[in-house]
Amino acid sequence: MIAQDFKSDQYVKFCPGCGDHAIVNSLQKAMAEIGVPTHQTVVISGIGCSSRIPHYLSTYGFNTIHGRGAAIATGVKTANPELMVWQITGDGDCLAIGGNHFIHSLRRNIDLNIILFNNQIYGLTKGQYSPTSKLGFVSKSSPYGTVERPFRPAELTFGARGTFFSRTLDVDLKTSQACMIAAVKHKGAAVVECLVNCVIFNNGAHGWIADRESRADRTIVLEHGKPMIFGANNDKGLVLDGWNLKVVKIGENGITEKDILVHDAKCEDNTLQQKLAMMEGPDMPIALGVIRDFDMETYDAAVNRQISEVRAKSKIKTFDDLVNNCEKWEI
């Protein structure tokens, strides 16, 4: 299969320069590499710029209502476990009105692939601050700056006992595609946070890491089983300094590659994974790639296993059995 197989005949109506274009492109390529046919793929969304994506894919799709994408996706996957289900959402749709559904889809570990577009703004409704907008952010709904601390999607995912979390940048197509493929391979609720640029209402929100010349020094792409090394010259790494992560330079103060931490995305204890996901600049690099990927039984598998077990033990096999096993009265 090729990416073209997953493109619909609909004109893509994102603003010129919007990071959503790149994520759609990465998603279509990832779907082609995964190889699940279009008729076995369902894409569910809520409301917002990102939620237009079901229209641009030649799969089954459902553009639902504000914040309810996770609830609909949960029902689709539980009732049809053989389908590959994607939920497309944004920082407003997912973390404001849809926050509760998002939390419970992670807690239950439903086998969903959740693409969370984070541009730190409400774009479709013309520029109000969102749950991920930075403290003090000036917008149409906060003309003097916000006075509330933002949500961090990673922190919320870990707090809800999520089993998979990854992060990518809209301009990093290679990492985006790799995260999406890893999300599908993971059995459970898989969150892919996409840092995207809203060129109209929040241009440059992620500019300091999106810049090609400095990106290698400001981000670290994590890979399971590999040393946490980054930098334009691959000469920087992460070590533990007590309980905290610290950036060191390989070759200075006796530091060698053997001193650098090795990433373990599969560890059940998420302490270090959360520290990695919560790193912020300018002193620390922003973690990209698959940060957590821990396997455990999914909600949909458990529900369907339970149904099979009850059916096997039950004397009632048909509707006639059900009727004939009820209490009867003759009038």
> What are the pLDDT digits (tens) for 77-87?
999 999 999 99
**Strand partners for 290:** 166
Give the percent of the chain with pLDDT over 70.
100
CA angle 276, 278, 281 (to 5 degrees): 95
> Residue 131 falls within a domain, yes or no?
yes
- Among 174, 192, 194, which residue's Cα sits nearest to residue 184? 192
> Residue 182 falls within a domain, yes or no?
yes
Which amino acid is it at 179?
Answer: C
SS3 248: strand
pLDDT at 17 over 80: yes
- Band (pLDDT 50/70/90 cuts) for residue 322 is confident
DSSP state of 4: G
236-241 and 229-230 strand pairing: antiparallel
Q: Are residues 176 and 267 in the same domain?
A: no
Q: Which residues contact 101 (CB under 8 A, 6 or more apart)?
A: 67, 68, 69, 70, 71, 74
What's residue 325's pLDDT? 81
Q: Average of pLDDT values for 286-291?
A: 98
The total of structural domains in the chain comes to 2
* CATH number where 81 lies: 3.40.50.970
What's residue 40's pLDDT? 98
Average pLDDT score over the chain: 95
Q: Are residues 171 and 234 in the same domain?
A: no
- Residue 228: domain span: 222-280
Distances (CA, A) of 305 to 62, 114, 301: 27, 24, 6
pLDDT at 118 over 90: yes
> Residue 305 falls within a domain, yes or no?
no
pLDDT at 330 over 90: no
- Band (pLDDT 50/70/90 cuts) for residue 212 is confident
Tokens representing 92 are: 């407003």
pLDDT at 264 over 80: yes
- Torsion sign, CA atoms 87, 90, 93, 99: positive
The residue among 178, 206, 234 that closes a domain is 206
Q: Are residues 81 and 184 in the same domain?
A: yes
Q: Which residues contact 104 (CB under 8 A, 6 or more apart)?
A: 70, 160
> Residue 145 falls within a domain, yes or no?
yes
- Among 175, 179, 178, 195, which residue's Cα sits nearest to residue 91? 195
Q: Are residues 16 and 149 in the same domain?
A: yes
Q: Are residues 170 and 241 in the same domain?
A: no
**Strand partners for 315:** none
pLDDT at 54 over 90: yes
Q: 114-118, 210-214, 239-243, 276-280: lowest mean pLDDT where?
A: 210-214
Q: Which residues contact 173 (CB under 8 A, 6 or more apart)?
A: 22, 25, 26, 29
Give exposure, 156-169, as e/b (b: 16+ Cβ within 10 Å): bbbebebbbbbbbb
Interatomic CA distance for residues 1 and 33, integer angstroms: 7
> Residue 54 falls within a domain, yes or no?
yes
- Band (pLDDT 50/70/90 cuts) for residue 164 is very high
Interatomic CA distance for residues 297 and 195, integer angstroms: 29
- Among 231, 173, 171, which residue's Cα sits nearest to residue 205? 171
- Band (pLDDT 50/70/90 cuts) for residue 317 is confident
> Residue 61 falls within a domain, yes or no?
yes
Whole-structure pTM value: 0.93
> Residue 304 falls within a domain, yes or no?
no
pLDDT at 203 over 90: yes
- Among 278, 284, 172, 167, which residue's Cα sits nearest to residue 218? 284
Q: Are residues 241 and 194 in the same domain?
A: no
Phi, psi for residue 104 in degrees, rounded to 5: -75, -30
Q: Average of pLDDT values for 149-170?
A: 96
The residue among 148, 176, 206 that closes a domain is 206
Q: Are residues 47 and 166 in the same domain?
A: yes
Q: Which segments within the chain are labelled E, that is strand?
A: 41-45, 60-63, 84-90, 113-118, 164-169, 190-195, 219-222, 229-230, 236-241, 244-249, 286-293
Interatomic CA distance for residues 331 and 329, integer angstroms: 6
What's residue 114's pLDDT? 98
Q: Average of pLDDT values for 237-245?
A: 96
**Strand partners for 62:** 44
Q: Average of pLDDT values for 116-129?
A: 92
Give the percent of the chain with pLDDT over 90.
89
Q: Are residues 254 and 106 in the same domain?
A: no
pLDDT at 328 over 80: no
Q: Average of pLDDT values for 156-167?
A: 97
Helix axes 69-79, 299-313, angle to 10 degrees: 40
Distances (CA, A) of 131 to 2, 10, 107, 151: 36, 30, 20, 6
> Residue 322 falls within a domain, yes or no?
no
What's residue 323's pLDDT? 83
